[in-house]
Copies of this chain bind each other. A is one copy, B any other.
């Protein structure tokens, strides 16, 4: 029996989460396990109901389940709120409260969609790497921070244990992949990066079978665009990971298709990397694949059923191979299907 907290959130969130829930239900039928799905508000939807983006009820529920599935949060309606009430603040808070210190973002090219990339097909084809972004430390959370009339300041800081635990996760993951980790920093300028680099290399001694190298963040950003196939596992800090994982998603041409996992020692949260897309919300045209692929990551990382993860991924590939396209991934003039049609097709392929 699995207990999943679903957080539809805002914009297209409810529609894509509904797709993922259908997939969960189909899998429960097929494999004979029970799945209880408990829905909770978060983000704008929660603010409208309770005057808070993240209530303690939602937070407590997230702590009492096997995994959290999140749609998307935010939209123009809540953009003018003071900073501490904005969706971004709630996102940072849930990450911190659930201690989701590792954000995993696969950058994988779907062959069927290769022409959607702004990069040449021969440059991106076969790209398949995984970014480990540190998610609860660094400049996102460092103190002191603030601004006044004359200056603004933030602190980029890492503690030893914060670097150690994400380094370990990335080495473990590399062992199940091509065995190659690249740690990305700015150690030629920043002391916090020198520290990061030192600790990653210390932990590497426990993983001598994994190949480790270092790359500066400016060079890494270029290399992802120049030759993404050179990467297997990337591990990096919160701010650098924010930038690099978005570039990684973009070059695949499948930005609307990519899942993510945010994991910690105790809790885990899965969500598509795309946003709430308020402009197309409620029209049954959003692409549910990124959210369904996030369910695959959930089976891999939280529910310990990698075979089911592979089944979901295969169903997505088969559905794409059969030619089904939501509007966001259709070539000009190509026939498109709705959110529910795409979902049903994937469910059928399971």
Q: Which residues of A contact B (CB under 8 A)?
A: 83, 86, 88, 92, 118-120, 123, 139-140, 142, 145-147, 149-160, 186, 188-196, 198, 217-219, 221-222, 225-227, 239, 242-244, 246-247, 249-251, 255
Q: A119-B120, A251-B225 are in contact. Are A189 and B92 (CB under 8 A)?
A: yes
- Within the complex, which residue of B120, B139, B191, B198 is in contact with A145, where a contact is CB–CB below 8 Å? B191
- Within the complex, which residue of B156, B160, B188 is in contact with A154, where a contact is CB–CB below 8 Å? B156
Asked if residues B246 and A222 are in contact (CB atoms below 8 Å), the reply is yes
Q: How far is the CB of A178 from chain B (nearest CB, A)?
A: 21
Q: A118-B226, A221-B221, A246-B218 are in contact. Are A153 and B191 (CB under 8 A)?
A: yes
Asked if residues A139 and B188 are in contact (CB atoms below 8 Å), the reply is no
Chain B residues whose CB sits within 8 angstroms of the CB of A239 once the complex forms: 186
Chain B residues whose CB sits within 8 angstroms of the CB of A227 once the complex forms: 118
Query: What's the number of copies of this chain in the assembled complex?
Result: 2
Q: A152-B194, A218-B246 are in contact. Are A118 and B157 (CB under 8 A)?
A: no
Asked if residues B218 and A243 are in contact (CB atoms below 8 Å), the reply is yes
Asked if residues B86 and A152 are in contact (CB atoms below 8 Å), the reply is no
Q: How far is the CB of A134 from chain B (nearest CB, A)?
A: 13
Q: How far is the CA of A208 from the CA of B160 in the complex (A)?
A: 48
| New A-B pairs, 20, CB < 8 Å, besides A150-B160, A218-B242 | A88-B188, A88-B189, A118-B120, A120-B120, A139-B156, A140-B189, A145-B191, A147-B192, A147-B194, A151-B160, A153-B156, A154-B155, A154-B157, A154-B192, A155-B155, A155-B156, A221-B246, A222-B246, A222-B250, A226-B250
Chain B residues whose CB sits within 8 angstroms of the CB of A242 once the complex forms: 186, 217-218
Chain B residues whose CB sits within 8 angstroms of the CB of A152 once the complex forms: 157-158, 190-196
- Within the complex, which residue of B118, B146, B198 is in contact with A119, where a contact is CB–CB below 8 Å? B118
Asked if residues A225 and B247 are in contact (CB atoms below 8 Å), the reply is yes
Q: Which residue of B lies closest to A253 (CB)?
A: B226
- Within the complex, which residue of B120, B123, B153 is in contact with A157, where a contact is CB–CB below 8 Å? B153
Asked if residues B153 and A153 are in contact (CB atoms below 8 Å), the reply is no
Q: How far is the CA of A151 from the CA of B244 in the complex (A)?
A: 23
Q: How far is the CA of A194 from the CA of B119 in the complex (A)?
A: 33
Asked if residues A191 and B147 are in contact (CB atoms below 8 Å), the reply is yes
Chain B residues whose CB sits within 8 angstroms of the CB of A244 once the complex forms: 221
Q: How far is the CA of A246 from the CA of B157 in the complex (A)?
A: 25
Q: How far is the CA of A159 from the CA of B147 in the complex (A)?
A: 10
